[in-house]
Amino acid sequence: MRKNLNIILAYAIMMGLIILVGIFQSWNVALSIFNMCLISAVMTMGANVQWGYAGLINFGLMGYAALGGLAAVLISVDPVPEAWSAGGFDILMCLWLIIAIVFLIRFILKNFEKSKIRTYGIAGIIIAGIVIIRITSESGIEAIEAVNPATTGFLGGLGLPIVFSWIVGAFFAAGLAFIVGKVALGLRADYLAIATLLISEIVIAIIKHEDWLARGVKNVIGLDRPVPYEVNLQTTEWFINLVARFNSGKLELISNIADKQAALNQLVIEGSSVFVKLCYSGLFLIVVVALLIVTQKALYSPWGRMMRAIRDNEEAANAMGKNVVKQHLLIFILGSAIVGIAGAMLVTQDGLFTPGSYRPMRYTFLIWVMVIVGGSGNNFGAILGGFAVWFLWIEAAPISLFLINLFTVGLPETHELKVHLTESVPYFRYLMMGMGLLLIMRYRPKGILPEKIEIK
Amino acid sequence: MDFLNAIILLLNYIFVPALTYGSQLALGAIFVTLIYGILRFANFATGDMMAFGTMVTILITWYFQSIGISLGVLPTALLAIPFAIIFMIGYMLFIDKFVFRYYRVNKSPPVQLAMVSIGVMFVTQAVVRIIIGPADQRFFDGERFIIKAREFKEMTGLNEGLAIKSSQVLTIFITLILVSILFWFLNKTKTGKSMRAYSDNEDLALLSGIDPKRVVMITWIIAGILATIGGALYGLDKSFKPFTYFNNMLPIFAAAIVGGIGNPFGAFLGGYVIAFSEIFITYAYKKFFMYILPESMEPETLVQLLSTDYKFAVSFSILVIVLLYRPNGIFKGKVL
């Protein structure tokens, strides 16, 4: 109990802050912050598995999150039969072609000695493959994109419940991580950071511009939800009764029946959106707790000890007979899969998929700030980082507005400086993030909740 | 005649833009490579530092314009750049003193310094956006074109026009001068040689009496010059938007690594490699083939290897390929 005091204290403060937002702003805002905090926490856990456990830098988090989001679209959207009949065959043929090329390259890699001819041969096969794929797919893609472009214009998905996409998103991300890991994990730390970042940019460029896949920058909106819709809730008998019972004290004070009904309606509208957010919170909490249990178990297992050994001294671990390359690849895949889950959760919550929004600032660097601030190597720290940084990210605007007003209290309302500063309030969040990161790196380099190794 | 038209077409749409874009990337890439070679970390704040330098240039340009100073046909910004450089050097030294020095003295691993540079990136980005806002700013004044497409057509009687913007010529010209001075400085002067020695082997350099503080200071000064000029030239040619500058960091990194990180000459060439390949691969050659092929063989499609949407993806793919086959870059890196 005592040694966990700082963890309990830190989480209590965090929950207190969110409750304060609920009291002073609104419960709706507080819950949406809480939900995003939970999603951020999943992402930070993924990054923490890679960085904290194994010391691998992955600046490509946004690519894995985007793949998770893509999974949500491909699982939940109903299939578009017209598009399938228009160009489905061409797309499937291309898929087979890609698989054939991959196996051909594998065959060449296995059966020929490493030489310049082999390298050029593989390059030639890839280039020829790209050209053939472009030629075969062009007509199919055009046909698919011509099918009702305002609403579909893509192949659609499988029409399954969107929650399945959380698992599929993990597999998508794991698949990408396998390729990236095979290609880039041999690189030195800072090269690895840059390489993963750039590969993710390529992945996002593909998702953005291949409209037949997920409508690209035209976005997919109105994805099915795993939780009830507000509109349906507002007309459901049991929900109205529930709201009435919750607020019976408040409602009894109103004597006029018409006023009472109006007040109840208002409460039901507010309550429905809070209820929906609570449902999401419940779903997300299940994921966070499950992942936390698994990652904690892993951290204190022999496997976790081996990972730490590899992180702290690669050569020594190698000399002890541990397969460093294999373990690095494994942990890279696991961490990326967790980020993929988070990406699918995010799209599930928003109900829309916007490939244009996956930018390195928001989905890579901010997540890294969370990991570093929270405490790398410590799962509780990573989750806390996700909560604290996201909270600050959202509440930075009101806080900085308050500070600006405090410091310019002597100036008149129309003073140029004051107006300018008030207008640029949204950008103070970057300042706060940067200062926070710099201060933590300088004075508490292990984060708010540092890693502690317990030897049992 | 058709052959000439084809050449002019390529010049106008590929060669001149790529040379300009390549010069802008080259300056950024040398900046990255210098920091990496001497201070030994990947500076993720590159794009935003360039944005900061450009912002100062723009503010000084606006001031000059308001008091009526101008350079006639040349953009006023050229006059503002030296003042911006002085300011920028101050900013760089300030950051070094209060942020990076601590980690350098403690001999922190490069990864930690890279993380710190992300903090600097956030702060610089915020400062730029708070001061000048996130919107597009155009600050080019003076004569816009050296040759206009229509004038060129009239002059030569060809079908294809060649338009050369003065900002393009200025970019290429200034880049070449600046890079020549830099290479002369690194190769011929004593200070430059001491920087190269420091980059090559820190301990040996210390033993031979090279003052590390001085080397680091000069590195930041050169970095300030490169960041300001590189950023300002990009802004003059296209336009200034903080977000674009942040995004430019990625092709700049690609250029630096392709050229062999730590090697300024490699970075210089890397910039052009990235720029030319981006434009070569995403250009639609239909019109070009219409000129050089007989009518019966004219292509029906655009003859475009990849759509322009994948412009950035091209440079990143090149980088990945280079990392796989020559992790040290095309020119051997890690020696200044």
C-alpha span between B248 and B256 (Å, rounded): 12
Contact status, residue A147 vs residue A80, Cβ threshold 8 Å: yes
- pLDDT at residue B336, rounded to an integer: 43
Q: Is the pLDDT of residue B303 over 80?
A: no
- The pLDDT > 90 percentage for chain B reads 50
CB atoms inside a 10 Å sphere around CB B76: 21
Nearest to B46 by CA among B218, B253, B199: B253
Average of pLDDT values for B222-247?
Answer: 93
Average pLDDT, chain A: 88
Residues A149-198 have pLDDT tens digits of: 777 778 888 888 999 999 999 999 999 999 999 888 888 778 888 889 98
Contact check, Cβ <8 Å, B42/A361:
no
Contact by Cβ (8 Å): B265, B37: no
Determine, for residues B123 and A430 on separate chains, whether the beta-carbon distance falls below 8 Å.
Answer: yes
Beta carbons of B262 and B36 less than 8 angstroms apart: yes
Flag if B325 and A442 touch (Cβ within 8 Å).
no
Closest CA to B171 of B285, B18, B331: B18
For the cut 50, the answer to whether the pLDDT of residue A211 exceeds it is yes
Q: What is the CATH number of domain B2-325?
A: 1.10.3470
In tens, the pLDDT along A234-268 reads 888 888 888 888 877 777 787 788 888 888 888 88
What are the structure tokens assigned to B233, written together? 């030239």
Average pLDDT for B79-90: 95
For position A167, what pLDDT does the model report? 94
pLDDT of residue B147: 82
Residue-level pLDDT at B21: 93
pLDDT number for residue A229: 87
Question: Closest-CA residue in chain A for B257?
Answer: A191
CA of A242 vs chain B CAs: smallest distance (Å): 46
Question: Which candidate, B75, B21, B336, B82, places its Cα nearest to that of B197?
Answer: B336
Q: Which residues, at least 6 apart from B253, have a Cβ–Cβ distance to it below 8 Å? A: A194, A198, B29, B32, B42, B46, B319
Q: What is the pLDDT of residues B277-290, one digit of tens each?
A: 988 888 888 888 88
Location of structure tokens 């709706």: A28
Q: Flag the least confident range among A9-23, A80-94, A295-309, B44-58.
A: A80-94
| Secondary structure letter of residue A353 according to DSSP | B
Report the pLDDT averaged over residues B117-134: 93
DSSP secondary structure letter of residue A135 = H
User: Which chain B positions have a beta carbon within 8 Å of A218's beta carbon?
Assistant: none
pLDDT, average across residues A130-139:
82
Interface membership of B127 toward A (CB under 8 Å): yes
- What is residue A20's predicted lDDT score, i.e. its pLDDT? 92
Band of the pLDDT at B314, cuts 50, 70, 90? confident
The β-bridge partners of A353 are A220
The tokens describing B190, both together, are 């004593």
Nearest to B310 among A190, A197, A205 (CB): A205
Can you tell me the distance from the alpha carbon of B336 to that of B329, in angstroms, rounded to the nearest whole number?
A: 14
Write the CB contacts of B125 (distance below 8 Å, at least 6 apart in sequence).
Answer: A427, A430, A434, B48, B51, B242, B246
Strand runs labelled E in chain B: 145-147, 164-165
Domain layout of chain B by residue ranges: 2-325
Among partner residues A57, A198, A428, which is closest to B126 by beta-carbon distance? A428
Ramachandran angles phi, psi of A440, nearest 5°: -65, -45
What is the distance between the alpha carbons of residues B2 and B159, in angstroms, rounded to a whole number? 9
A189, closest residue in chain B (CA to CA): B111
Strand partners, B240: B137
- Predicted confidence at residue B335, as pLDDT, reads 44
CA distance A172 to chain B (A): 20
Which of A209, A427, A445 lies at the smallest CB-CB distance from B310?
Answer: A209
Contact yes or no for A153/A145 (Cβ under 8 A): yes
Task: Tell me the shortest Cα–Cα distance from B111 to chain A, in angstroms.
Answer: 6
Q: Are strands B164-165 and B145-147 parallel, antiparallel or unpaired?
A: antiparallel
User: Which among A184, A208, A427 is the nearest to B130, CB-wise?
Assistant: A427
**Predicted local distance difference test score (pLDDT) of residue A84:** 84
Distance from the first to the final alpha carbon of chain A = 16
Inform me whether the pLDDT recorded for A15 exceeds 80. Answer: yes
Judged by CB atoms closer than 8 Å, whether chains meet at A430 and B324 is answered as no
Q: How near does any CA of chain B get to the CA of A184, in Å?
A: 8
The answer to whether residue B230 scores a pLDDT higher than 50 is yes
Percent of chain A predicted with pLDDT > 70: 99
* Mean pLDDT estimate for chain B: 88
* Mean pLDDT for the stretch of residues A294-306: 91
Collect all residues with Cβ–Cβ distance below 8 Å to B306 and sequence separation of at least 6. B281, B282, B313, B314
Band of the pLDDT at A454, cuts 50, 70, 90?
A: low
User: What residues of chain A have any CB closer than 8 angstroms to a CB in chain B?
Assistant: 57, 119, 138, 183-184, 187, 189-191, 193-195, 197-199, 201-202, 205-206, 208-209, 361, 365, 368-369, 372, 421, 423-424, 427-431, 433-435, 437-438, 441-442, 445
Q: How many CB pairs under 8 A join A and B?
A: 116
Cβ separation of A208 and B319 shorter than 8 Å? Answer: no
- Which residues in chain A have Cβ-Cβ distances shorter than 8 Å to B253? 194, 198
Amino acid at A176: L
A210-219, A321-330, A366-375, B241-250: which has the minimum mean pLDDT?
Answer: A210-219
- Per-residue pLDDT of B4-36, as tens digits, reads 888 888 888 889 999 999 999 999 999 999 999
Q: Out of A191, A205, A438, name the one closest to residue B323 (CB).
A: A191
As for the ipTM of the complex, it is 0.89
Q: CA of B42: which chain A residue's CA is closest?
A: A190
- The residue type at A286: I
Question: pLDDT at position A456, please?
Answer: 46
- Average pLDDT, stretch A66-89? 88
Flag the least confident range among A355-364, A427-436, B77-86, B305-314.
B305-314
Å between B35 CA and nearest CA of chain A = 13
Judged by CB atoms closer than 8 Å, whether chains meet at A431 and B319 is answered as no
What residues in B contact A368, CB-CB < 8 Å? 115, 118
CB A386 within 8 A of CB A40: yes
